[in-house]
Amino acid sequence: MKFGILIQEGPYNHEAADSAYNFIKAALERGHTIQGIFFYNDGVINVTKLMDPPQDDRNISKRWSELGAKGIDIVVCIAAAKRRGINDQVIVPNVRISGLGQLTEIAIESDRLITFGAG
């Protein structure tokens, strides 16, 4: 099965990013495909270089960068990013900024679109 993922909440103060990450890992382990991951609203904060978590805490932005390095298309909504002062210089490697059209493409090409976080 091909899954598209939409993440709408920021890191550390909400479980959406952790739940999405764990879902993606489990899906990949079971042979499913992740068609793409789209960050929207406060979800865009998940992929910035501006995080500096303590050594004993999980590094959420690094997790996403590592998934992107495996070939998963990870997209940040440009409008949501700009509203939060996020641009190409502050996002982690293997993540790109684009428009809502990319979310539409992910949804069309997926069997299921799964949303993490409030809408």
**Residues, the chain, total?**
119
Which of the residues 37, 60, 75, 77 is marked catalytic? 77
Would you say 75 and 96 are in contact if contact means Cβ atoms under 8 Å apart? Answer: yes
77 is catalytic: yes
Contacts of 101 (CB under 8 A, 6+ apart): none
Would you say 80 and 44 are in contact if contact means Cβ atoms under 8 Å apart? Answer: yes
Catalytic residues: 77
